Structure 1
Amino acid sequence: MVSSVETLEFQAETRQLLRLVIHSIYSNKDIFLRELISNASDALDKLRLESLTDSSLAGIDTDDLHIALEVDADARTLTVRDNGVGMSRDDLVDLIGTIAKSGTAGLLEKIKESQDAATAENLIGQFGVGFYSAFMVADRVTVLTRRVGTESGTRWESDGEGTYELQAVDGLPVGTSVTLHLKPADSEDGLADYLSGSKIRQIVKQYSDFIRWPIRMAPEQAAAEGESAPEPETLNSMKALWARPRAEVAEEEYNEFYQQISHDWLAPAETIHMRAEGAFEYEALLFIPAQAPFDLFSRESRRGVQLYVKRVFIMDDCEALMPDYLRFVKGVVDAHDLSLNVSREILQHDRQIHGVRRRLVKKVLGALKDMQAKDTERYAKVWGEFGRALKEGLIEDTDNTKALLELVSAASTHDPEEPTTLRAYVERMKDGQDAIYYLTGETRAMVENSPHMEALTAKGYEVLILTDPVDEVWVDRVPDFDGHRLQSIAKGQVDLDGEADGDEAGDAEKAKREEEFAGLLPWLTDALSAHVKQVRLSSRLTTSAACIVGEAHDVTPTLEKMYRAMGQELPTVKRILELNPTHPLVTALRTAHGANAQDPALAEIAELVHGSALLAEGGDLPDPARFTRLLTDHLARTL
């Protein structure tokens, strides 16, 4: 009995991606075979794992799991066949007919914007949709597959234009075969001869040599009559790179293995090869990438390294082995003493895994520290790519706060071009300076032009310029570095005169000013009570009339906005208005208040001073229309 054929349409995003893959993404068409072999390897891994964990599959034969490449020169077909887990009809629809992942629109936009073919290939590989690359070399693709544990199989076929066909098929073996009906050799695409054994060997060696399953190809010449058929040729080495001594592994081998597991075709910035022996034995081969993946800060991004047990693949993205802030680290951990039946839930509570995780983290942070000391240029690039993620560790990982602080690199007023470490900042601190000064903000320009910077700049104090959103959080979680507290120059009291010399003349001058403004300050506090908790004199201003500051433990306005953007409402925090006692506007306001405290124009000027201070720090006015009207009215009176 022959079943009917269904014709279905690709999802709209899938059609867009197909067009991009076929016509504009891959500069190297050889990539298609790498992607299909990688998919076949995943299917074999899944079958091995399911046979170990699903009792209904206990009788499945997994002794000869492999990938077979079959060429038919007459029919111009190339088939990639595996005896892995296989797919059901629904799997085919979900995995090939639909891109069933969030972020598709963003991915397509990034690919379209990319002017670099290598970057576009990297995005495609990371997103896991390399199957579509088959249509670069084939004008039709046929998939025959049967899911393990099912009786019937499915045929999938498409020309990649907009629709695909599905048909139930009986009698298929478990596994998947992908047959590419190759375009004519003389087509305008300029195809290489993918029916050539030497070409296929070259591609497999270059891209798939470390696949753990044998990749076999039938001999090109059939056996002579009366002779036994020659054995299939195994094309890949299948070497477990992590199990070999480091001295025996060439850098090129490390790079090839990294490219295979990460789909990042740049060489890694750092390779970490380690072996632990004793009560719990394992090998680890970790890589710090040279560039961040496009989805580094996406919730759906892949996190964690691959876990093997005695060279048997257990799971991808083992989050229990690597903290979230090191999610960019790629690699393999091969444990000798875990059960093959281990689950993600078990790993979360396994003491041995926690111990492995601690050692891996220290190894990665140590490698970054060594890079920082020995190759500052390379480290600067790595920090530029992953610094924001690493700073998340200052919030999450209190055990490694000291090591992470040593790695922090930040812009500062010391050098407009080169960032600084906290260690270098401390070495440059002025005599008598106790605190490490910093200011957070949206951009470097906003921070540098902030009124809060004026007195510190004038007196030669260095200020860290922190513009990452995560900076708003970690600086409040870290009390000090090397015994020096971290002090926001926009929060609390900043007494530069007292810190610099503490002389009695300075104290006397401060007392005199407090007395001169004794009438104005409480009046202003009352007049602006809807917006501020206090008005006081400032020691941090030299040219601006006023600035807004918070108490030492107040939430910053930027952090408040971040929480609200995430749907978390916070109680309104009133802040402090500081006045520059030497500014002409402030001294004139003091004089006018002394002459006639009841003048209604004074309250309006107080609103303008407060609003101007808000705008100077990049804040939002409580009533922009009223501020504009008051400003224009007072400007008109002066003309």
Structure 2
Amino acid sequence: MNQPDNYRFQVDLSGMINILSNHLYSSPKVFLRELLQNAVDAVTARKVLEPDFKGRVHIELAGTGSGATLMIEDNGIGLTKEEVHQFLAMIGQSSKRGKDLIMGETSFIGRFGIGLLSCFMISDEIVMLTQSAQGGPSLEWKGKPDGTYSIRELATELSPGTKVYLRCKPDCEIYYEPQNVEKWIYDYGALLPHPITLRTGQFEKVVNPASPEWIAQPELARGYRNEVLQFGERLLGERFRDFIPLQTSSGRTGGIAYVLPQAVNLHAKKKHRVYLKQMLVSDKAENILPDWAFFVKGVIWSDELQPTASREHFYENDRLEEVRAELGESIRGELIRMAEYDPDRLRHMIRLHALSMKALAVADENFYRMIHRWLPFESTYGRRELGELLEDNQNIYFTLTLDEYRQITHVASAQSLLVVNGGYIYDAELMESLPAINPEIRTERLLPEDVSLAFTDITAEERMKYFELTRLADAALRRFRCRIQLKRFKPAELPALFTLSKESSELRSLEVAEEVSPDALSSVLNSLGSILKLEGAYSTLYMNLDNPVVTRTFMPANSRIFVNTVEMLYVHALMLGQYPLNKQEMDVMNQGVLRLIQAGLAADTHRGDEDQP
């Protein structure tokens, strides 16, 4: 039997660089992060050999524009000639793996051994000078994007550590501008424990200040309020007024959740800044905090999460889920602490971010119990905090939908009936669960027909008097599948109230959708609507005889324009209830207005003729 021929994969380095720049990394500026990571990892490795060793990182910018050169130097462990071949010539091999001098992989930031390749995105050549702290010759390594590299031993012995030189690639001048380099160094390395010095033709400075003690112990941040707020403003570019310290039970993940100074959209992407082993991994992390925490922007540091190959996101695994839950518990715990010790601060936060607080209250009964008095709700008494509504009311009615609330709000308000609009997200759920956290309170869903029961029936004599006109009004609205009922109710200023049963509400929704749907879907919707029509899906228009317009409408002398007036009152009631008008109803409104104008003009003309001598 013939033995199979074995071959080795060939790697197209230029193709790899294209993948890095266009697919793996979000921006070429990550080359600076990769260089910083390599430098810090080298310092970390040397500290294993020399526990009292003090690491440092130095960056220099020389020249401008297309002639600019960047140099980054560390005084870390350096590389031997064997290690240069092993770690710089093999794609995917990492110097952070499998070495005896490394106590554990968690001591290091980089994991994938491709970081140095990112430099080819902004330079056509990488020059590295290195001296191993374990001895051996000083070396010069030069790499090119075509996959070739050279190594030579230097006659002069360098100090232990590594220097990397990059020369500006055409159209990459932006990545060598001093102000950009300074900003990116701070962004990536603000929490690094080693000083990073930047020297340019104009200045020399330490870019990253020493980490304050509250970084290691976030619970201490409350005692450094101004410093913490300034830290957040510099990192996140936004001025904050409040924050919440974050920490997991293990202490391996911590941070600061900055409370956003303005209300935010519930569905907006939540982007947080996350540092892994003190190096920025992502400033757009979306999965590090619970979804309900959309009222904060986090600066979070961890040494226990698993980054993706790009080191810009985290794997969604059990550990991330546990960390997210514990950070959410930190936020919840701080809000409960505020409720007990600083209620004014919590009240301000709730007013600004009510939706977030309601989301948390729905999920956590204990939290709801602590903060329910400060949650705002729309009601027939206006938009009030729940505590205000409870001062004079132990019974609260609520609607399940916005449509139900719109149907009854005018009548309920006139009767001083407290009704909460449960049509907004979370509000109906909170109303239903309110008795569970306060047994002295009763809540009950209110339907439009329940409000109609409070209407005063007309007398038998009135029923006989208006029988024919009521029948005529019913006939006029039959094409809208609406019935007329004459009642008396408050407020007298309200001429008519339109209400929907469950079936008629579904039918109305189907008819509106049918008008704007393609023919195929329209046919399906029409079939569904036919079923509801067979089930007697009728709406009701309650007409208020206490209203002078309705009273005059039902006078026999006005029978000539009676039908037109009834149709207009029907459309007016729809608009008052904020129902969208279908095409047929729009036609009624347009034609009805013209008819009323014509009737008014005709009356004026007739009166003018009578005035002639």
- How big is the shift at 1:610? 0.5
Equivalent position of 2:463 in the other structure? 516
3-state SS of 1:585 partner: helix
Equivalent position of 2:117 in the other structure? 149
- What amino acid is aligned across from residue 385 of structure 2 in structure 1? T
1:633 to 2:585 alignment: no
- How big is the shift at 1:236? 2.2
Distance 2:514 2:117 in 1: 48
Q: Deviations over 1:505-536 (max 9, x none)?
A: x9xx5484798289466654443133344434
1:289 to 259, 278, 290: 259
Closer/same/farther in 2, CA of residues 513 and 455 from structure 1, 3 Å limit: farther
1:531 to 2:495 alignment: no
CA contact (8 A) 2:246 2:331 kept: no
Q: Deviations over 1:33-74 (max 9, x none)?
A: xxxxxx99965556789x9xxxxxxxx994259864537799
Equivalent position of 2:568 in the other structure? 608
CA contact (8 A) 1:68 1:217 kept: yes
3-state SS of 1:529 partner: helix
Cα RMSD (Å): 6.0
Q: Deviations over 1:138-176 (max 9, x none)?
A: xxxxxxxx97436855469xxxxxxxxxxx999985799
Distance 1:358 1:254 in 2: 24
1:257 to 2:231 alignment: yes
Closer/same/farther in 2, CA of residues 603 and 561 from structure 1, 3 Å limit: closer
Larger Rg: 2
1:211 to 2:191 alignment: yes
1:460 to 2:422 alignment: no
Distance 1:272 1:529 in 2: 63
Distance 1:612 1:219 in 2: 73
CA contact (8 A) 2:482 2:540 kept: yes
Give the % identical residues: 14
CA contact (8 A) 2:187 2:235 kept: no
Equivalent position of 2:328 in the other structure? 361
Q: Deviations over 1:334-373 (max 9, x none)?
A: 55655556999985452x5444434433443454455567
1:543 to 2:502 alignment: no
3-state SS of 2:265 partner: coil
- How big is the shift at 1:78? 10
Distance 1:341 1:530 in 2: 62
Moved more, 568-577 or 615-624: 568-577
Equivalent position of 2:389 in the other structure? 425
- How big is the shift at 1:268? 3.6
2:397 to 435, 449, 467: 435
Equivalent position of 2:209 in the other structure? 236
Closer/same/farther in 2, CA of residues 487 and 566 from structure 1, 3 Å limit: farther
Q: Deviations over 1:114-140 (max 9, x none)?
A: xxxxxxxxxxxxxxxxxxxxxxxxxxx
3-state SS of 2:353 partner: helix
Closer/same/farther in 2, CA of residues 283 and 341 from structure 1, 3 Å limit: same
Equivalent position of 1:63 in the other structure? 42
Aligned residues: 455
Moved more, 405-414 or 203-212: 203-212
Closer/same/farther in 2, CA of residues 335 and 220 from structure 1, 3 Å limit: closer
Distance 2:185 2:36 in 1: 24
- How big is the shift at 1:586? 3.1
3-state SS of 1:250 partner: helix
3-state SS of 1:276 partner: coil
Equivalent position of 2:434 in the other structure? 482
- How big is the shift at 1:545? 0.8
- How big is the shift at 1:607? 0.4
- How big is the shift at 1:410? 3.7
- What amino acid is aligned across from residue 460 of structure 1 in structure 2? S
Distance 1:214 1:564 in 2: 67
Q: Which runs of 5+ in 2 are unaligned?
A: 1-26, 45-55, 75-113, 125-144, 150-163, 436-441, 530-536, 605-613
Distance 2:286 2:511 in 1: 30
- What amino acid is aligned across from residue 245 of structure 2 in structure 1? I
- What amino acid is aligned across from residue 417 of structure 2 in structure 1? Y
- How big is the shift at 1:220? 11
Distance 1:380 1:357 in 2: 25
CA contact (8 A) 1:275 1:282 kept: yes
- What amino acid is aligned across from residue 482 of structure 1 in structure 2? L
- How big is the shift at 1:637? 5.7
Distance 1:560 1:398 in 2: 40
Write out aligned runs for 1:180-579 (5 A): 180=177, 210-212=190-192, 214-217=194-197, 236-238=209-211, 241-244=214-217, 246-247=219-220, 250-264=224-238, 266-277=239-250, 282-292=252-262, 296-297=264-265, 302-307=269-274, 311=278, 315-334=282-301, 338-339=305-306, 348=316, 350=318, 352-368=319-335, 371=338, 378-379=345-346, 381-388=348-355, 402=368, 408-410=375-377, 414=381, 419-429=383-393, 433-436=395-398, 452-462=408-418, 472-475=424-427, 480-483=432-435, 484-485=442-443, 487=445, 491-494=448-451, 497=454, 510=457, 512=459, 516=463, 519=467, 524-536=473-485, 537=487, 539=489, 541-551=491-501, 554=505, 575-579=539-543
CA contact (8 A) 2:60 2:198 kept: yes
- What amino acid is aligned across from residue 289 of structure 1 in structure 2? V
Distance 2:116 2:561 in 1: 83
3-state SS of 1:480 partner: helix
Closer/same/farther in 2, CA of residues 627 and 43 from structure 1, 3 Å limit: farther
Moved more, 618-627 or 302-311: 302-311
Distance 2:451 2:226 in 1: 55
- How big is the shift at 1:329? 1.7
Closer/same/farther in 2, CA of residues 374 and 547 from structure 1, 3 Å limit: farther
Distance 1:566 1:329 in 2: 40
- How big is the shift at 1:452? 4.5
- How big is the shift at 1:259? 2.3
CA contact (8 A) 2:33 2:188 kept: no
Distance 2:360 2:410 in 1: 32
Normalised by the size of structure 2, how large is the TM-score?
A: 0.55
3-state SS of 1:542 partner: coil
Q: Deviations over 1:16-38 (max 9, x none)?
A: xxxxxxxxxxxxxxxxxxxxxxx
Q: Which runs of 5+ in 1 are unaligned?
A: 1-38, 52-59, 85-145, 157-167, 183-193, 195-199, 222-230, 442-446, 498-505
Closer/same/farther in 2, CA of residues 344 and 454 from structure 1, 3 Å limit: same
Closer/same/farther in 2, CA of residues 377 and 405 from structure 1, 3 Å limit: closer
- What amino acid is aligned across from residue 297 of structure 1 in structure 2? N
Distance 1:565 1:377 in 2: 49
- How big is the shift at 1:262? 2.3
- How big is the shift at 1:237? 1.2
- How big is the shift at 1:606? 1.6
3-state SS of 2:388 partner: helix
CA contact (8 A) 2:271 2:297 kept: yes
- What amino acid is aligned across from residue 426 of structure 1 in structure 2? L
- How big is the shift at 1:481? 4.5
Normalised by the size of structure 1, how large is the TM-score?
A: 0.53
3-state SS of 1:324 partner: coil
CA contact (8 A) 2:274 2:301 kept: yes
CA contact (8 A) 1:44 1:83 kept: no
